[in-house]
Structures are given as C-alpha cells and as structure tokens.
Amino acid sequence: MSSNTIPEGFAAIEVVDAEGRPRQLGEVWTDRPAILLFLRHFG
Amino acid sequence: MAEFRPHVAEVEAAGGRVAFIGSGWPAAAQAFREEMRLPNALFLCDSERHAYQMLGMNRGLLTFLSPRAGWRYLQALARGHCQTRTQGDNTQQGGAAVVQPDGTLGYCYRSRFAGDHPSVTEVMAAFQSSLSSPVSR
C-alpha cells in the first residue's frame, strides 16, 4: 500500500467508455473517491 | 477481479465510484460488463495502456508465463472459474488504486503475475479511509 499523489498527467489520460464515448480518466474521481480496478483483460 | 463485483453497489451507496479499466476495446468492455452482470458499472478502455504505465503496472511475458501464474490458474479452475476468450494485452498485469478528489493516491497495488489480485479487504479498507478524509467531505 502506498500513500502519495497520482502522477502528473494521470487525470488527463484519454480513455473511452464501453459505449465508445471519449472520457478523461480524471472524471472518475472529480467529485468523489474512486476505486480504479485495472483488469488484466476483458474476459 | 470478479471478487469486487458484490462491492460495487456498496461503494456507490457510500458516495464513491468504481471504474473497471481494461486495455481492450469498447465491444469487449460491453461483453465483459454483461458477463459480470454489472449493467450500470463504469467500464473504461485504455487501449494504449497509458494509465497502466503511469501507475507502474507490471507487464511482460515472465509475469504471464510464471509458475505462480500457472498455479493460480489451476486454483481458479478448481474453483470453477474458467477463463473465456480474452480481449486486451495478455502480458499486461492489472492492479487497483484508490484515488481521492484532490488526487491523493491512498492505495495502489500492482499485480506481480497473472492471478495475483489485489486484496478486496485492503481495497475496501482504503476506500473507507478515503471517505473519512477531509478532502472527500
């Protein structure tokens, strides 16, 4: 476990949601704490 | 990561959010969302794996073909978890992070090999801790 801050530029990473809409990763935790689960693969 | 499925509603009810991030494409994310039976959950595709790289998630053939990975795979099979067709980079390992609105990274786990998953107990404890943090109020 670590306690620090996210890397610079992490929030600005561009991803797409399951519907194909572009999103910025930082939207996930803008207004609430978030759990990010990094999957090894979908499936 | 299926072990986190029962906790998604709990996190949302507590005022948090869960995002499932994969390196595949939207169609694969949709299919996996259905398979997980989480129709309203947030699934994001990081096909370039920028987020994985920035958080230092492990990647490489040795993380995928290690004896420990093989042992975990056999354990999963014994529990009835049969891996179906996968989408994404199979040599990319996952992990988990808890992030607060001010950018505090309260928890970060980087899976060392295939089948090495973050502890649900640790992740949920970190999330609960983030709720009590002044920056999340």
DSSP letters along chain A, please?
---EEPPTTSTT-EEEETTS-EEEGGGGGSSS-EEEEE-S-B-
Question: For A4-13, B11-20, B26-35, B126-135, which range has the lowest pLDDT when averaged over its residues?
Answer: B126-135
Structure confidence by residue, pLDDT tens digits, A2-28? 449 999 999 999 999 999 999 999 999
Q: Are A39 and A18 in contact (CB under 8 A)?
A: no
Question: For A11-25, B80-94, B101-115, which range has the lowest pLDDT when averaged over its residues?
Answer: B80-94
Closest listed residue to residue B20, CA positions, set B114, B76, B73, B88: B88
pLDDT band for B64, please (50, 70, 90 cuts): low
Q: Are B118 and B111 in contact (CB under 8 A)?
A: yes
Q: Which two tokens stand for residue A39?
A: 């999957």
Q: Which fold has domain B2-131?
A: Glutaredoxin (3.40.30)
Q: Do A16 and B45 touch (CB under 8 A)?
A: yes
Residues of chain A positioned with their CB less than 8 A from the CB of B88: 39-43
What is this model's ipTM?
A: 0.92
What pLDDT is recorded for position B137? 47
**Residues of chain A numbered 1-43 and touching chain B (CB < 8 Å):** 1-7, 9-11, 13-20, 23, 25, 28-43
Closest listed residue to residue B106, CA positions, set B78, B86, B129, B136: B129
pLDDT value at B77 more than 70: no
pLDDT value at B87 more than 90: no
**Residue B108, CA distances (Å) to A4, A20, B43, B95 in order:** 9, 27, 19, 7
